C-alpha cells in the first residue's frame, strides 16, 4: 500500500529524479489497530507454565477529544487531540505460541495516528493479542502519563492465572 512518494536515483539521460512509490508500511498512515501485523512463533516450552513480561515504554496514541487545550486550533489538524504517552506492560503465560516482538512493535505503532480512549486502547490490545496468541492467561496494563492533573492506570486481563 502506498504511503507517499520520494525522489528516486538520478536518471543520467534526462538528469531528472523520478518519483518512487514508498511502500515501507503495510498499512496506511491513518489506520489504527492493525492486528494482522501480529505474528507468533512456537512456544519452546509448551509443557510448562511460565510468564513472559513485555514492557513497552513508548506507547503513543492521540487523545480522542480535542479542543480543551489553549492551542486547539493547531490540534484540529490531528484526527484526535494532543498526543498521549504511556507505558504498556503485557504479561502472559503462553500456550502453544509466543508473540514475536518486532510484529508487536509494528502493531503498537499502528495506534499512533488516531484518537482512542485509554480504556479502549488497553482492552483492544488485550483482545487482539489474546486472539493472536491464545495464551493460558494474559494481562495488559496501560500506565499513562498525567493529563489534566489526573494519572490513569488501566488493567485488563483474560483467562485464569494459576499461581505457583
For the segment 108-153, what is each residue's pLDDT rounded down to a tens digit? Answer: 999 988 788 999 999 999 999 999 999 999 999 999 999 889 999 9
- CB distance 3 to 21 below 8 Å: no
Residue 38 pLDDT: 97
Burial code of 145-159, b = ≥16 C-beta within 10 A, e = fewer? eeeeeeebebebebe
Measured distance CA(58)–CA(41) in Å, rounded: 24
Q: Which of the listed ranges 21-35, 39-53, 75-89 does the model predict with the highest average pLDDT? A: 39-53
Known catalytic residues are 63, 84
65 or 69: whose pLDDT is higher? 65
User: Are residues 2 and 57 both part of a single domain?
Assistant: no
Q: Name the domain count of the chain.
A: 2
Residue 69 has pLDDT above 50, yes or no: no
Calculate what percentage of the chain has a pLDDT beyond 70: 71
User: Are residues 102 and 134 both part of a single domain?
Assistant: yes
Comparing CA positions, the residue from 100, 95, 104 lying closest to residue 135 is: 95
- CB distance 143 to 153 below 8 Å: yes
Cα R_g (the chain), whole angstroms: 20
Does the reported pTM lie above 0.85? no
Q: Which residues pair with 55 in a beta bridge?
A: 89
162 or 134: whose pLDDT is higher? 134
- Per the structure, the complete domain to which residue 70 belongs is given by 31-159
Amino acid at each position: 500500500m502506498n504511503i507517499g512518494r520520494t525522489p528516486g536515483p538520478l536518471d543520467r539521460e534526462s538528469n531528472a529524479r523520478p518519483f518512487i512509490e514508498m511502500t515501507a508500511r503495510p498499512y496506511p498512515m491513518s489506520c489504527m489497530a492493525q492486528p494482522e501485523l501480529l505474528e507468533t512463533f512456537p512456544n519452546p516450552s509448551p509443557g510448562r507454565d511460565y510468564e513472559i513480561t513485555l514492557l513497552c515504554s513508548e506507547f503513543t496514541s492521540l487523545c480522542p477529544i480535542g479542543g480543551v487545550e489553549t492551542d486547539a486550533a493547531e490540534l484540529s489538524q490531528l484526527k484526535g487531540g494532543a498526543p498521549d504517552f504511556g507505558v504498556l506492560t503485557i504479561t502472559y503465560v503462553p500456550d502453544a505460541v509466543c508473540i514475536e516482538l518486532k510484529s508487536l512493535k509494528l502493531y503498537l505503532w499502528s495506534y499512533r495516528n488516531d484518537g482512542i480512549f485509554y480504556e479502549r486502547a488497553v482492552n483492544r490490545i488485550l483482545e487482539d493479542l489474546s486472539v493472536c496468541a491464545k495464551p493460558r492467561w494474559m494481562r495488559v496494563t496501560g500506565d499513562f502519563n498525567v493529563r489534566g492533573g489526573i494519572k490513569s492506570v488501566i488493567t485488563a486481563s483474560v483467562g485464569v492465572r494459576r499461581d505457583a
